[in-house]
Each structure stands twice: as C-alpha cells, then as structure tokens.
C-alpha cells in the first residue's frame, strides 16, 4: 500500500479562510483493446434469468446491461473503445479538524488506465463460481461472501482481462492482432468483473484488481505469445489432474475469448506488498441526464457536472455562504465546509433516465459527474462492489433500493400529533412555558429538553455536560415533571451522543461515565492504546468504541435508566466524527469504519427501542413507544434510524446553510431513502462577532414555522445562543403564529399517518421533490428549494426570502386535477404553468388537489380549528 499521511488541525487558530479544493486523482481515461477477428460483432450473455449483458464490437467495443423485458433500455453501459476498469496507486493525506475531514491525493505513483478483455464467461453453477473461476485468481473467489453468492441467481457472468499503463504513444490502430511493443516503464494487472442477479430488479456487480505486475523485462512478439499460451494450457491441464473433481466443471459454451496485450507489457518490479489503492469504474451517461440522491445534500439536487465525495463529516458553518464561511475557516481549519460536506451521504443515485446504482461497503468514494458523456466512480480500495437497480419510475427505483437497504418503522402517533417543544432552562422554565402554551391552545406532542444533563461554562459560552444522567439541581422534581406532562399526554424527550466528557468538575454528578467507560476499555483508543481524546469545541471527549462487544449493553443501560424515569424519546446526536487514526476493538481500518460508525450508532439505539417494545408489550398504551432522532448517517441508516433531523443550520436566509438548504436536504435525503426528516424551526447556529452577526430574526422564525408545519415533525430549537434569537415564546406575535401553525400541522395528521405507513412499506418519503412523481416534466428538474410535495396531494411553495410576500408557484405537467389554493380557494387548472401567488406572513402558498379526499379533509380540519 502507498503511504498515508494524517494531519491534525484541531488547534490551529489562524487558518486560510479560502482553502483550495483538495487535490484528487484526475479523471482517468484509457483505451479498451479487443481483437475484431475473433470477437463476435454482437453477442448476448445471460445474467440470472431476468438480465443480460450485450457485447458489441463496433467503435472499439462496448458492453451494456439490460432487463430482458426492456432490452433496448440500458441500465449500465460502457463507452465504445474506452476502458471501463482502471486502477492507480496514490499517496493519501487526510486532514482532520473537529469533525471536518479533507481527503487529498498527494502523489499518484501509478495509473493503469488502458484495458483489455480476454474472456467473457457464463458460470452456470455455484460450485463453478466458488472454485477456481480463473487460474490466476487468488484462492479461487477469495473475498466473495459465500452467503451472498448463494443468494445470487445463476448464471453469473465473469469478465476478465488486464489493465495496464502505456508510456509510449498509442498506435493508431487499437486492434491487438498486430504486434504492439510497450515501453519498459509499463505495468499491468489482472482484473475480474462479476455480474449476478440479486433480485428481479437488481444486478449486483463486483470489480477486483490483482497486484501490479512489473516482472517482464522485454517485449514479447506474437510468436512468443503463442508459446506462452501453450505453456499456460499445459499448466492448466496439470492443475486439473492434481486438484481433482472440482476442477472438472465444464467450460461454458457461451463465452468470448479476446486477445490481450498481457504478455507484451514490460516494467520494473516493485515491493511485493504493493497493491492498488484506487479503482475506477467508468461508464456512459447522457448529456441531458440528471443525477439525484447521494444522501442528504444541502446545496444541490442535480449533481451532473460535479464531483460528489461520499464521506461522513460535519456539514460545516456556512458551507460557502459569506461572510460566515470566511470567518469559520479563519478561526478553525476548514470549519466552514463547502457544498459537498454533509452528515449523511450515501453512495446511491437515480437519474432522469431511470437508471440507478448504489455501492456496497464503506470505503471513501467519489462520483465524478463532470463529463457530459460519462460517469467515473473512484474508490479508495482495490475492489468495488454495488448494484444496478431496474425500475420504470423514480418511485419504483426508490422502492427497490430501500427494499434492499431497509426502511424505517412506523413512527408512534404521539410524536406526530403536535409540536415538539425544544427548550432549556430547568424545571421552572419548562412549567412556565407550558402554562403559556396552554393559554394559546397549542397542540403539544412532547417537550424536548436537551439540557437535562446540566450546563457547564466554557470559554465559548454555556455548554452541556456530556455525562448522561439528569442534573437534579437544574431539573428538580424531574420525575414529577415527567409525570405531570404525561398526565396531559405530553412526552418528555432528552439528549445523548456516543461521546463522554470527563466529569470530575461537575458538582451535580452522581456517576462519572467517562471513567466507567475508560475502566471497561470500551472507548476508542489512540495509537498508544490510551482513550482517544477527541477535541470538541471547548473540551475534549472520549468516544465509545461501537465495535467492542461490551459497549452495547453498557450504553443500553444508560438508555434504560432514562426510560425508567419516564423518558420516551431522545436526540441521538453526533456519530460523524470517528478519528481516522483511531484504534478499534474490531481491528478494522478506521478510515473505512468512519462511514460505518453512524450506522452502528443508530443500530444500538434502535435495538434498545425494539427490545424495550418487545419486553413492554402492548400493556396499557400501545402508543407508548420510544423514538430517537439523529443527524449522522450512511447508506443503511434508514434501516436503523427511526427519524432524522438535518443538523445545525445557520439562523439565516442563505442558500447553502440557511433556511433554503433545509428544503434541499429534506428532498435529497428523501430521494436516498431517508423517509422521515425535518429541521430545527428557526435554525441553530447564531454568531456574534464584531463585524459578523447572525441572529435569528422574528421574520425568519415565522417563515420557518410555516415551512416546518409541512414536514414530518414540527420541532423547535432555541439555538446555540438562545438570548440572541427570536423564540416562539418571545412575544404575543410569535406565540400566536406558533399556535396557528402547530394547528395547521395537526390538521393534516390524518394524511401524515398514511404517508408514514407508506414509507415503512415502500420507502417513499413524506416530503418529495416533484421529480418523484413528474419525471417527464422537464421543468421540475430545475427546482431545488423552491417548492415540494407532501405525499402526492399537497403542494407547498414556501417563502424563503427576507421581506417577500409572494412566490412563484409551478403547476406540473401530468396532473389530472386542478390545484386549489387553501386560503382563497382559487383553482389553478393549467399544466406546465407558473403563477405568482400572494403569501403574506401567516398564509404561505399551499395547494391541495381540488376535490380529492385528502384535500377536502385537510380544508375541513383547518375550518374546524378556526384557521380558515
């Protein structure tokens, strides 16, 4: 392996405010070589019973995968005459600073960008696959999970050949039937590509690279090549005699042997341990093709033309919005983030051409969509594995994808019945605000009290004690408070995360959980074997090693103690900051484990919820179910997480990290399997600097209430600087507006219940980009934050700009019903039509399908609540 450099930037207090984009492996392009004299011009091979791969030799040769029912629709195809597999050796540098990461390629030592195809082989039987699929493949099919292989529907397709570098000028004729002598600096390696049917709508693929070969000292002529081939045949016959019965499977008749340049390549011998640490998979795309997904993304919906990195990390403060990004980067290395930084990426996409792909595993990857006619996936590994998803609509693609990765359970009705009141201050403050909420007749689901553990004063202000037990001084009469709220059907929710702070200085502690975890050896360790103290704002913390077998039961006891007090939900914060040089109990590579950590964090919380429900039974109240919500995630987090929120946005109107970004995050995550998501009402991050001030204005708070009344959860947050921000309890106007939109939220509860059931069954999100239901309407592809659907029946066009009292609404092509404005009753019947709609504060532009059961019920409920 080439060298890895990890640089810590935690304590640098003066940094470049305009950091350059990290250097990375450039787009790799090379030639695909084939021999037209022996390769059929057109040949088709089966993949399972429902898919097929087609080889065509024209224009240099290319491959295409399709479904048998739609042979003319390509799910995946290579570019004629262009290599689709390539590999590289590169030095890697990772810069880390308080949950932010930058991965760079420092020096690219080797690129094998050209490719040959030797063999396209159909493998009909499991034994044939598991034993010696190729005489040069190490230990047969080593590295392939046999349980996964047994689930694969045969036949499986295997493509083999070589990738190589070529320093000399390429010959004009790419046919290898002629002698081609390469320079002495050339290197080659074998590759294997497997395609296997996983289900009636998915094809799995694996690509693996062998070690680079530098052993040949001179070019070999065609005559020498023939002598080598004869020798190789004799060796194979000898192996057959020695290896016995499992070598005796019949070579399938339907295969193609393609001449290669494998024996003409020369080079120098490297160290024996050298392996590729970059693998690239390149395939075709159409210029007009739009790419959606990639997890929770905050700045863009369509990623065509961009390089999308897939790495879990802090989203950043500003993410390109100025001047805050400048300030954040200046005081903390790359703390500002950029358009691509996110808590919850996913190596998955779907396109406007109804193509979809996702990757398995947790290695760092980049989806390079910068070329108009092709896609290149660059994986930091020597193999890549994933699936192609077949479907005829975005909803089908999403349903098939979530059917594989998993879907969330149905949320309990209590959390979607009213507002979740996020506040701090202790028992007296909670009771005071509760009294005021009752005076305004606000429907309440829960009080979410993140400061239940108590506050500590640091140089940046007031922060929480990360020692997960109640501060009985701040929250005196804790159990009685919970009991009193529960008597009014209001639950209490708290806060925790997978980190622990030393608590010696906490005067109200009963336990020191950091010391307990340290003594048990369940904290992530550093290179010296000591607990890894991870910098976090003003203090350092230990992080739970979620791969340790004792961590699960220890942390579940913390949750059990919370629940025994009467707690029924919590924020499971963080999960995105595992250090890339940590030592884990499992011994796995921490860079790979970094993307897996948030899934493990979700899994522990979810297991506790399921176990509690199983032990608790239906009992007296079947709705008395636990809920947790979290921000960090990866591909399979929708399976384990129950509910997500979008993290820490700025209290601003800006595009990349303000109110607009929450709509983009909501919709992009929904297209990636995160069916239940929401944001903090009003945003979180306020800033008070001499020249830079971000304080939550009253107008921003009111518009955010209007927006979030149409998301899965309606939850407030005071923000990191409550005294600087307008709050729902600030004055009569904010209280009245909050009460109004808590009632609007409750008015479509009946439909929300339907959508939550649908999400659990099909993986479709509650809030949806118009692409999901109107993919044939070219106009919907331009939308990011401007408007969205709630299910299929409600169209929301929020006001997201300061001082605006109208919005431009678009009514898509393909809808049979007119859209009815809920405040005026006006009908909009034209399709593919834009209209300016008045949207004063208190009356955001919201439409329902005229005459629909959902629309009529929603309007009736609004009238019953005296909203209309």
Which residues face 157 on adjacent strands?
A: 122, 195
- What are the two backbone dihedrals, phi and then psi, of residue 481, each rounded to the nearest 5 degrees? -60, -45
Centre a 10 Å sphere on the Cβ of residue 725 and count the other Cβ atoms it contains.
23
Catalytic entry in 118, 263, 573, 815: 573
Contact at 8 Å (CB) between 410 and 707?
A: no
CA distance 77 to 82: 11
**CA-based nearest residue to 662, from 709, 702, 707, 693:** 707
CA distances to 453, 458, 465, 515 from 503, rounded to whole Å, are: 11, 14, 8, 8
Query: Is 565 marked active-site?
Result: no
Which residues face 677 on adjacent strands?
A: 644
Query: Is 576 marked active-site?
Result: yes
Catalytic entry in 262, 576, 706, 793: 576
What does the angle CA 533 – CA 535 – CA 539 come to, to the nearest 5 degrees? 95
Contact at 8 Å (CB) between 322 and 305?
A: no
List the beta strands (DSSP E) in 339-390.
345-351, 356-359, 365-368, 374-379, 383-389
CA distance 424 to 434: 12
In the chain, % helix, strand, coil (3-state, to 5) comes to: 25, 30, 45
List the beta strands (DSSP E) in 467-557.
491-496, 499-500, 533-536, 539-543
Catalytic entry in 385, 599, 646, 648: 648
CA distance 802 to 733: 18
- What are the two backbone dihedrals, phi and then psi, of residue 399, each rounded to the nearest 5 degrees? -65, -40
CA distances to 56, 158, 196, 536 from 122, rounded to whole Å, are: 17, 6, 10, 54
For residue 300 the two structure tokens come to: 């863009």
Listed in sequence order, the residues at least 6 apart from 832 whose beta carbon sits closer than 8 Å to its beta carbon are 777, 779, 811, 812, 813
Contact at 8 Å (CB) between 107 and 90?
A: yes
778 secondary structure, DSSP code: G
Helix (H) or strand (E) holding 809, with range, is strand 806-811
Burial status of residue 856 (CB atoms within 10 A of its CB: 0-12, 13-18, 19 or more): middle
- What are the two backbone dihedrals, phi and then psi, of residue 576, each rounded to the nearest 5 degrees? -100, 5
Query: Is 573 marked active-site?
Result: yes
Instruction: State whether residue 608 is helix, strand or coil.
Output: helix
CA distance 346 to 633: 8
CA distance 698 to 566: 34
Alpha helices in 527-644 (DSSP H): 551-564, 590-616, 637-640
Listed in sequence order, the residues at least 6 apart from 742 whose beta carbon sits closer than 8 Å to its beta carbon are 418, 419, 442, 443, 444, 709, 714
Centre a 10 Å sphere on the Cβ of residue 255 and count the other Cβ atoms it contains.
15
Contact at 8 Å (CB) between 415 and 213?
A: no
Q: Please list the active-site residues.
A: 573, 576, 648
């Amino acid at each position: 392996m080439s060298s890895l450099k990890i640089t810590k930037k935690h304590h640098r207090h003066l940094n470049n405010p305009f950091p350059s984009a990290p250097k990375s492996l450039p787009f790799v392009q090379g030639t695909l070589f084939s021999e037209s004299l022996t390769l059929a011009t057109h040949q088709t091979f089966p993949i399972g019973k429902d898919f097929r791969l087609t080889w065509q030799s024209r224009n240099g040769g290319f491959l295409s995968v399709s479904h048998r029912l739609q042979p003319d629709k390509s799910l995946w195809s290579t570019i004629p005459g262009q290599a689709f597999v390539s590999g590289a050796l590169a030095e890697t540098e990772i810069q880390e600073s308080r949950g932010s990461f930058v991965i760079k390629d420092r020096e690219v030592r080797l690129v094998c960008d050209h490719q040959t195809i030797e063999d396209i082989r159909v493998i009909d039987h499991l034994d044939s696959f598991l034993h010696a699929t190729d005489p040069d493949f190490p230990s047969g099919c080593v590295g392939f999970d046999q349980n996964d292989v047994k689930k694969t529907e045969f036949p499986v397709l295997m493509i083999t050949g070589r990738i190589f570098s070529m320093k000399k000028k390429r010959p004009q004729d790419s046919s290898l039937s002629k002698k081609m002598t390469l320079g002495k600096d050339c290197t080659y390696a074998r590759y294997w590509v497997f395609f296997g049917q996983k289900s009636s709508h998915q094809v799995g693929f694996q690509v693996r690279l062998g070690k680079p070969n530098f052993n040949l000292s001179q070019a070999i002529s065609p005559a020498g090549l023939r002598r080598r081939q004869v020798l190789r045949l004799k060796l194979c016959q000898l192996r057959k005699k020695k290896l016995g019965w499992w070598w005796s499977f019949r070579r399938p008749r339907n295969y193609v042997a393609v001449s290669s340049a494998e024996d003409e390549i020369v080079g120098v011998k490297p160290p024996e341990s050298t392996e590729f640490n970059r693998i690239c998979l390149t395939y075709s795309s159409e210029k007009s093709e739009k790419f959606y997904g990639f997890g929770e993304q905050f700045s863009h919906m369509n990623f065509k033309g961009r390089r999308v990195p897939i790495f879990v990390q802090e989203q950043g403060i500003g993410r390109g919005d100025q001047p805050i990004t400048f300030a954040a980067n200046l005081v903390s290395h790359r703390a500002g983030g950029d358009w691509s930084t996110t808590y919850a990426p996913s190596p998955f996409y779907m396109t406007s051409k109804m193509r979809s792909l996702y990757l398995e595993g947790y290695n760092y990857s980049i989806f390079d969509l910068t070329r108009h006619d092709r896609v290149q996936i660059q994986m930091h590994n020597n193999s890549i594995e994933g699936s192609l998803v077949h479907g005829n609509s975005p909803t089908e693609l999403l349903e098939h994808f979530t059917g594989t990765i998993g879907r969330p359970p149905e949320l309990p009705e209590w959390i979607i019945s009213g507002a979740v009141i996020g506040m701090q201050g202790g028992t007296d403050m909670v009771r005071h605000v509760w009294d005021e909420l009752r005076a305004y007749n606000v429907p309440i689901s829960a009080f979410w009290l993140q400061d239940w553990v108590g506050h500590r004063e640091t140089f940046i202000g007031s922060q929480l004690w990360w020692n997960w037990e109640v501060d009985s001084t701040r929250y005196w009469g804790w159990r009685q408070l919970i009991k009193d709220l529960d008597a009014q059907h209001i639950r209490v929710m708290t806060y925790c995360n997978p980190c622990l702070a030393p608590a010696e200085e906490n005067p109200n502690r009963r336990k020191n959980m950091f010391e307990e975890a340290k003594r048990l050896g369940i904290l992530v360790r550093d290179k010296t074997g000591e607990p890894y103290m991870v910098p976090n704002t003003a203090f350092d913390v230990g992080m739970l090693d979620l791969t340790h077998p004792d961590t699960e039961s220890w942390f579940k006891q913390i949750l059990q103690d919370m629940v025994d007090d009467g707690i029924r939900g919590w924020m499971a914060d963080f999960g995105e900051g595992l250090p890339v040089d940590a030592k884990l109990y499992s011994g796995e590579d921490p860079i790979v484990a970094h993307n897996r950590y948030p899934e493990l964090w979700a899994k522990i919380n979810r297991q506790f919820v399921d176990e509690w429900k199983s032990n608790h039974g239906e009992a007296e109240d079947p709705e008395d179910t636990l809920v947790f919500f979290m921000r960090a995630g990866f591909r399979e987090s929708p399976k384990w997480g129950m509910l997500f929120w979008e993290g820490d946005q700025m209290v601003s109107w800006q595009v990349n990290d303000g109110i607009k970004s929450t709509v983009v995050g909501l919709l992009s995550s929904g297209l990636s399997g995160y069916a239940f998501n929401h944001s903090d009402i009003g945003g979180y991050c306020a800033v008070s600097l001499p020249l830079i001030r971000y304080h939550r204005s009253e107008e921003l708070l009111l518009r955010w209430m209007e927006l979030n009344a149409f998301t899965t959860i309606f939850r407030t947050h005071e923000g990191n600087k409550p005294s600087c921000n307008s709050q729902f309890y600030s004055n009569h106007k904010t209280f009245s507006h909050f009460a109004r939109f808590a009632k609007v939220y409750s008015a479509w509860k009946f439909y929300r219940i339907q959508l939550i059931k649908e999400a659990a069954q099909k993986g479709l999100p509650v809030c949806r980009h118009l692409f999901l239901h109107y993919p044939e309407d070219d106009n919907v592809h331009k939308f990011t934050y401007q408007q969205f659907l709630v299910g299929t029946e409600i169209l929301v066009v929020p006001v997201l700009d300061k001082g605006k009292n109208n919005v431009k609404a678009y009514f898509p092509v393909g809808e049979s019903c007119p859209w009815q404005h809920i405040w005026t009753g006006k009908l909009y019947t034209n399709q593919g039509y834009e209209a300016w709609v008045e949207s004063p504060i208190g009356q955001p532009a919201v439409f329902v399908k005229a005459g629909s059961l959902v629309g009529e019920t929603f309007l009736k409920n609004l009238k019953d609540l005296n909203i209309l």
